[in-house]
Structure 1
Amino acid sequence: MRIDNVTDYSHSVPARGGLQTAAEDPSRAGSAPMNASAPAAPYWHRYYSTAEIERIRRVLQVRQLPSTGVTLHLDIYPQPRRGAPLLVLNHGGGGYGGLFVKLAMACHALGYTVVLPDQKGQGRSGGAMGDFTIDEAVQNIVDVARWARQEYGGTLYLGGGSVGSGLTYFAAAAMARDGDPPAAVLCHNLYDFGDPRTALEFTRFAVLARLPLLPPLFRALMRGLARLAPGLRLPYRPLAKFREMLDRRDWDGGFHELWRRDPHILTTVTARYFASVLGTPAAIPFEQNQAVPVLVTNPTRDRMVRPEVTRQSFLRLAGPRRYAELDFGHFSLQPEFTQQLARLADAWFKEHGAGG
């Protein structure tokens, strides 16, 4: 599949070869780029030190890609040569590409061209914030992956964390169904959106997921609500234990307060989104996977979603698979976390074709 309608901002690279500030915050489809002569520092810079931002500026490029009727924002960390191994990293429901920068840079240092897309209705991409479905998010990843493989060459890998872990597997499964799977994937956590228990496990009411009749009933009720009022706005942050997203090592750095004020983080989502999380099956169920090698990493300090959810998902996987536990919370900005995750991913990918 060829995708030609791509906006390229590489002509606006500052003389230092750095950040594409001209396109940094086209937060909705059709918006004009920021004035390159007087760019404001993007909000996500606040998560990183001045030294880190300087290193990022030397590498980062920004492009836009049409998908599912909107314009997606892509942060790209390219290698200087075409054909380097290619990694598309996918954010979760409480983030966007700007929060994965440390992991992107760690993978870039290992020789990968890294693409971080913001999905529809999230981060800096187009569409109404919080109004999307699992199928649309999966299609976003598939479109980005196919475009990136065409643009950069190289062996294609996918990765993602939190909700992005399930989306990563779902996208890989959709590509495998169509005969063009990625060489391998990294799933930091692993969730199945075809199982209504999964969505409940994300919430403060996770205990209800263990009641046999409640998850199917909740799915039926949400499907009915989505049919009647698909755009109905429902609170997002109060439902999940976002205070537990990172462990104390990141709390001490003030992450949660920065995250809470981030204008690119979801505050509400629509009924159609909730319904999709409760009942969207993968193109290839975990038990039938044969085409996609899957590395599953599971954070043992996770207090946001029980690590047992990921363990059980891993045990359902067929095909080539590997499991590793990490001594961190649901996610982390700690250098030890990003280095460990990048090394695990690199070793797994090298078993399945990465070598440039």
Structure 2
Amino acid sequence: MTLPQTDPYPALSARYSEFFAPPAQPAAPRSEVFGWTDGRLRLDRHGPAAAGLTVLLVHGAGGYGRMFAPLAAELAAAGYEVLAPDLPGYGLSPAPWQQVDYGAWKQALLALIDAEHQRRPRPFVLFGASIGGYLAYLVAAESPWVRGLAATTLADPRDPAVQVALVRQRWMRALLPGLRPLSRLTRGLRVPVRWFTHMQRMSRNPALTALVCADPLGGGNQVPVGLLASLFDTAPAVEPEQFQRCPVLMAHPACDDWTPVAISDRFYQRLAAPKQRVLLEECGHFPVEQPGLDQLRDALLPFLARTDGIGPSASR
């Protein structure tokens, strides 16, 4: 379903596009609402509808789909269809908070891919940013239509070393094992996500970090305790040692102060699938700097071209 022309947030992408180097001016996307059994997703659709491959952008805990409009526009200009959804509770997607956890986010993306594939069969590539990289992996481990996985980070939140990087305080990490049962008793309890995480490490640009942290649709959001707890105990259907469904590209910011490269390497090195590792020079956690953006493009476009050549009927 296409949204009416009275989209209440027409300038969302422009607020973030100006931080990209050089500043980007993406074309207006086609905004839609996808409904499935458990809720609705607001998403932007970029690029040609008849493209042979669709890229699904998966944001992290401080973002939403429209923050990545410059990347979506570049991929669309290269001939790919791009879907940029807002996960439930973020951006413009509503959330029945009593039902939302990390597993529900995974199910929402699986439902979207299934519906898109039933409407028009074609392969999908997932591109996950921040903790959306692990979420993209969870989806790739279950969806038969995913032919490629790219991510800026591949930090496994079950790993204690990753928990140290993600969670602000030691006492908060000590509470992780008990957060799940607590959340069932306090479904209405919502806390600012920036209280729990190192949101101040979002970017090397202080103005961009301030924008993300103050954005009520993203890093300034308030989320239920259960969503935060579920991040740290959601296991994939296939562990990386057995993952061979599709090739993997990890294009990691080289100057990431939030999830350093070494954190992602712990998961990346375990992957059994064909894989490629690229470091984005001068880029922080939210990669907007040069030459890293060009390096991301130069790695991602050939990766997509190779995947596009597989075709929708291929199996792995």
**TM-score if structure 1 supplies the norm length?**
0.77
Aligned to 1:37: none
- The equivalent position to 2:39 in structure 1, one of 70, 73, 88, is 70
Unaligned runs of 5+ in 2: 312-316
Amino acid at match of 1:95: G
- The equivalent position to 1:48 in structure 2, one of 17, 23, 38, is 17
Task: Indicate whether 1:86 and 2:29 are aligned.
Answer: no
Cα separation, 1, equivalents of 2:129 and 2:298: 16
- The equivalent position to 1:233 in structure 2, one of 190, 194, 219, is 190
Cα separation, 1, equivalents of 2:259 and 2:98: 21
- The equivalent position to 2:286 in structure 1, one of 326, 331, 339, is 331
Deviation at 1:238, TM superposition (A): 2.6
Cα separation, 2, equivalents of 1:352 and 1:45: 30
Task: Indicate whether 1:189 and 2:153 are aligned.
Answer: yes
Cα separation, 2, equivalents of 1:121 and 1:341: 28
- Larger displacement relative to structure 2 (144-153 or 107-116): 144-153
Task: Describe the SS at the equivalent of 1:330.
Answer: coil
Cα separation, 1, equivalents of 2:291 and 2:99: 35
- The equivalent position to 2:129 in structure 1, one of 161, 165, 171, is 161
Change (3 A) 1:144 1:343: farther
Task: Describe the SS at the equivalent of 2:308.
Answer: coil
Change (3 A) 1:226 1:200: farther
Residue by residue over 1:95-122, the C-alpha shift from the partner in whole angstroms, topping out at 9 and shown as x without a partner, is 0011111111121122111000101111
Task: Give the length in aligned residue pairs.
Answer: 305
Task: Indicate whether 1:104 and 2:72 are aligned.
Answer: yes
Task: Indicate whether 1:259 and 2:216 are aligned.
Answer: no
Structure 1 or 2, whichever has the larger Rg, is 1
Task: Describe the SS at the equivalent of 1:325.
Answer: strand
Unaligned runs of 5+ in 1: 1-6, 13-20, 26-39
Task: Indicate whether 1:8 and 2:2 are aligned.
Answer: yes
Amino acid at match of 2:213: R
Deviation at 1:148, TM superposition (A): 2.8
Deviation at 1:130, TM superposition (A): 10
- Larger displacement relative to structure 2 (329-338 or 69-78): 329-338
Amino acid at match of 1:275: A
How much identity, in percent, do the aligned residues show?
25
Cα separation, 2, equivalents of 1:317 and 1:310: 11
Cα separation, 1, equivalents of 2:165 and 2:148: 27
Aligned to 2:314: none
Cα RMSD (Å): 2.7
Are 1:77 and 1:108, in contact at CA under 8 Å, matched by a contact in 2? yes
Change (3 A) 1:77 1:355: farther
**TM-score if structure 2 supplies the norm length?**
0.86
Are 1:86 and 1:155, in contact at CA under 8 Å, matched by a contact in 2? yes
Aligned to 1:244: 201
Deviation at 1:129, TM superposition (A): 6.8
Amino acid at match of 1:353: D
Residue by residue over 1:208-256, the C-alpha shift from the partner in whole angstroms, topping out at 9 and shown as x without a partner, is 59xxxx96x6432222312332432233213322222111xx33xx323
Deviation at 1:336, TM superposition (A): 4.3
